[in-house]
Amino acid sequence: MRFNVMKTVFSTRQVTQLTLGLFTTSLLGFFSYSESGSVQAQAGDPLQVVTTILPITQFTRAVAGDRAEVTPLMPTNVGPHDFQARPEEVRILSQADVLVINGLEIETFLEGLIANAGNPGLLTIDSSDGIATMEGDHEHSNDHDHEHSEEHSHDHEHSDDHSHDHGHVHGEFNPHIWLDPKRAIQQVENIRDGLISLDPEGQAIYQANAAAYIEELQALDQEISAQLNPFQGKTFVVFHDFAPYFAESYGLKAEFLIEIPEENPAPEDVRRVIEAVRESGLQTILTEPQAGDSNPFEVLATDLEVEVRVFDPIETSGPEGIEPDYYLTIMRQNVENLVSAFESEMAFFPTPLPPVALGSIERPLVLSR
């Protein structure tokens, strides 16, 4: 992915290749250079780091700690699909040293915002660099077999070889990599490496902070694996197309009603979800906080006579959502709701008992649920 920042993009790998004097003219008076070619704020000021979507803010705060000042670009109650920049966001970006992004074209607002900020020294860390991605499912209405099975390694060093501008809402790849804790670990590592490249004096701090958070993410991944292992191959239905990475990571199948929250479902979308619910015997579908109370999913659930639970894609929150622990808390809640959904399905359709010869029954057989 490429943004028009002095015709240059800096992914984590590219940041490490900065050479002394690369931006000497444009950055003179703003930054000083170390002998290794890193960019550091003058006069001992902390690195001014701006983050985009909520999970990137959480991950960056976990890595940066008190070493850098991390400022969210977006209000926590506004998701990437609804965000419209105001003068305040332009000001924030104009004063930033570093911008940390999710990448994969979920931040479609950035190109114009960066141009308006007029900050030629702004460097970008793309947390999706090198992460295996899945193609966006842009024609799901005409395709009932869309498990996002084709994966690609997202390497920005090759991004100039092809255009990502295909007119798709989510871009070429599904961007919701943060909902898979394994990929979230890779994002944290990319953020760590990018900050170290820009602020090598803080290397020990960034490494220690990242290691501590990665340990928590690994524990989360192990918990989720243990909880979902009994439901391998099961299908779950969510409101919009945010779950393919999560589903793939834990051996599940994800179905969705619409690609992004702003869309209205087409009749084909509704029919597809109805078929998935009936074929899988689902008793629960999973909405999200961003959908609100009056949405097509709630109506669909009423018509299908199924329950509605929440799977939060962590795109919006209250003010507390910027904290790294918020990600861990919400992911655990998501899994708890998903397990409850699967268990309600099993309770409604209990596993049949094997046939028993009448002569072998010595006492009454009691069936319990």
Which position has the higher pLDDT, 281 or 101? 101
3-class DSSP assignment, residue 65: coil
Spatial distance between the Cα atoms of 40 and 32, rounded to a whole number of angstroms: 6
Q: Is residue 364 part of a domain?
A: no
Tokens of residue 149, six digits: 């099975």
pLDDT band at 135 (very low <50, low <70, confident <90, very high): confident
The answer to whether residue 323 is domain-embedded is yes
Does 361 fall in a domain?
A: no
Q: What pLDDT is recorded for position 40? A: 53
Confidence of residue 108 (pLDDT cuts 50, 70, 90): very high
Residue percentage of the chain with pLDDT more than 90: 63
Helix count and strand count (H, E) for the chain: 11, 12
Sign (positive/negative) of CA torsion 56, 92, 44, 19?
positive
Note whether residue 363 is domain-resident: no
3-state secondary structure of 107: coil
pLDDT at 28 over 80: no
Question: Is 171 among the domain residues?
Answer: yes
Structural domain includes residue 344 = yes
Closest CA to 140 of 300, 275, 270, 269: 269
The pLDDT of residue 48 is above 60: yes
Residue 244 has pLDDT above 80, yes or no: yes
Look up the pTM and report it.
0.79
* pLDDT mean over 321-326: 98
pLDDT of 57:
99
Q: Which domain holds residue 325?
A: 230-348
At 91 the pLDDT is 97
pLDDT of 337 reads: 97
Q: Residue 307: enclosing H or E segment and its boundaries?
A: strand 307-310
Percent of the chain scoring above 70 in pLDDT: 71
Q: Does 356 fall in a domain?
A: no
Give the mean model confidence (pLDDT) for residues 210-227. 99
47 & 77 share domain = yes
217 and 236 fall within a common domain:
no
pLDDT at 167: 35
Query: Does the pLDDT value for residue 346 go beyond 70?
Result: no
Among the listed residues 151, 65, 60, 52, the one whose alpha carbon sits nearest the alpha carbon of residue 106: 52
Cα angle value 132/137/143 (rounded, 5°): 130
pLDDT of 195 strictly over 90: yes
Residue the block writes with tokens 């959502």: 321
Q: How far is CA 218 from the centre of its chain?
A: 16
**CATH number for the domain including 86?**
3.40.50.1980
Residue range 229-248: mean pLDDT, rounded: 96
Query: Structural domain tally of the chain?
Result: 2
Per the structure block, which two tokens stand in for 328? 């861990």
Distance of CA 206 to the CA centre of its chain: 22
Helix (H, G, I), strand (E, B) or coil at 40: strand
Distance separating alpha carbons of residues 301 and 318, to the nearest angstrom: 27
pLDDT at 252: 98
41-50, 92-101, 312-321: which range is least confident on average? 41-50
d(CA 350, CA 95): 60
Whether the Cβ atoms of residue 128 and residue 154 lie closer than 8 Å to each other: yes
Same domain, 217 and 242: no
pLDDT band at 260 (very low <50, low <70, confident <90, very high): confident
169 and 41, same domain (yes or no): yes
pLDDT in the model for residue 137: 62
Give the closest residue to 186 by CA, choosing from 224, 146, 213.
213
Task: Report the pLDDT value the prediction gives residue 33, as an integer from 0 to 100.
Answer: 31
Write out the H or E segment, with its range, that includes residue 134.
strand 131-134
Please give the residue that has the higher pLDDT: either 224 or 302: 224
Average pLDDT value for the chain = 80
Structure confidence at residue 170 (pLDDT): 52
Residues 140 and 243 in one domain: no
Do 73 and 190 share a domain, yes or no? yes
pLDDT tens for each residue of 281-303: 999 999 998 876 667 788 889 99
Mind listing the pLDDT tens digit for each residue in 115-124? 999 999 999 9
Rounded Cα distance between 124 and 143, Å, is 36
The answer on 165 and 98 residing in a single domain is: yes
Residue 302 in domain: yes
Q: Are residues 202 and 234 in the same domain?
A: no
318 and 198, same structural domain?
no
- Which of 182, 183, 246, 190 is closest to 218 using CA atoms? 182
Residues 198 and 303 occupy one common structural domain:
no
| pLDDT beyond 50 at 147 | no
Instruction: Give the residue-averaged pLDDT of 307-336.
Output: 97
Name the helix (H) or strand (E) containing 223: helix 203-228
For residues 198 and 336, membership in a common domain is answered with no
**Are 132 and 154 within 8 A, CB to CB?**
yes
- Cα distance between residue 108 and residue 61, in whole Å: 23
Q: Is the pLDDT of residue 12 over 50?
A: no
Element (H, E) at 285: strand 284-287
Do residues 48 and 173 share a domain?
A: yes
The pLDDT value recorded for residue 362 is 43
